[in-house]
Amino acid sequence: MTRRRWIADQVAGNRAVLTGEHADHLVRVLRASVGQEFDVAANGVVRRSRIISVEDSRVEFELGDEVPLARVPKLTLLLAVFKFDRMEWAIEKCAELGVARIVPVIARRTDAHLASAAAKRVERWRRLALQAAEQSRRSTPPEIATPIKLSDAVSLTGSLRIVLSESEQQLQLRDALESRLMDSGEEMIFAVGPEGGWTAEELQQFHQAGWTSASLGNTILRAETAAIAATAIIISVLR
């Protein structure tokens, strides 16, 4: 039977602890009890663990043997800020699929109210990413960065940098990936635009900074669908 995985809030020696709302879900919803075994990710290492104490808003584990892990691609998603409910869906699903970092980007077509409120949503996005990481049995949640301007985003470095563009007619995403064999230690960055897509001026910024344009096909996808589909394609190729 596959054991449920948790990512510890606190680690000291061979002990790990879940606290707050994180622990409440285990205590109240899953009815945790002393002696139950789970996988616990402690400082990025997953260990088979046993509950040794249960209190309100606190569950303590004794850490046991290390659990082998599959290699995780170094994948960064630049995600233009769009309607928060849909953006949260994208963050959650891309976290489940395996992105290592998500960087929210204030794009030209990002609504002004969303742009001004984005920084206040980061902690919520991080909680969602943590929950998604545990759901998908990851050892660490993806990093959720504070929102940045596009001018800063295009200067981020990686071994392969791809901007998804509806106007790209020649190069499909999978072809762009398969034409570039990547080492497991290399980082890839891909950028997904907001509702309405990147503007021509923004695409020019990407191109001038050395990014490669690629397409997801002839259909026009919602921003959240594009982010999830692209992540799934990239993960399938990089693994």
pLDDT at 184: 57
Q: For 53-62, 114-123, 147-156, which range has the lowest pLDDT when averaged over its residues? A: 53-62
pLDDT at 30: 81
Length of the chain: 239
pLDDT at 229: 96
pLDDT at 1: 53
Fold of 5-66: Ribosomal Protein L25; Chain P (2.40.240)
- For residues 90 and 167, the model is more confident at 90
Contact of 92 with 132, CB cutoff 8 Å: yes
Would you kindly state where each structural domain of the chain is located, as residue ranges? 5-66, 74-238
Q: Could you check whether 5-66 and 74-238 share the same CATH topology?
A: no
pLDDT at 55: 87
Map tokens 């497991």 to a residue. 184
pLDDT at 10: 92
β-partners of residue 61 are 16, 51
| Cα→Cα distances 63→13, 39, 133, 135, Å | 9, 9, 20, 20
Contact of 233 with 177, CB cutoff 8 Å: yes
Q: How confident is the model at residue 185 (pLDDT cuts 50, 70, 90)?
A: low
3-state SS of the chain: helix, strand, coil percent to 5? Answer: 35, 30, 35
Would you say residue 149 has pLDDT above 90? yes
pLDDT at 29: 79
Contact of 192 with 231, CB cutoff 8 Å: no
- Nearest residue to 191 via CA among 218, 147, 232, 231: 231
Would you say residue 19 has pLDDT above 80? yes
Would you say residue 181 has pLDDT above 70? no
Model pLDDT for residues 31-47, shown as the tens digit of each residue: 888 999 999 988 888 89
- Per-chain mean pLDDT for the chain: 90
Q: Answer whether CATH 1.10.4190.10 is correct for domain 74-238.
A: no
Q: 37-42 and 5-7 as β-strands: parallel, antiparallel, unpaired? A: parallel
Distance CA 131, CA 126 (A): 9
pLDDT at 178: 83
Q: How confident is the model at residue 227 (pLDDT cuts 50, 70, 90)?
A: very high
pLDDT at 183: 61
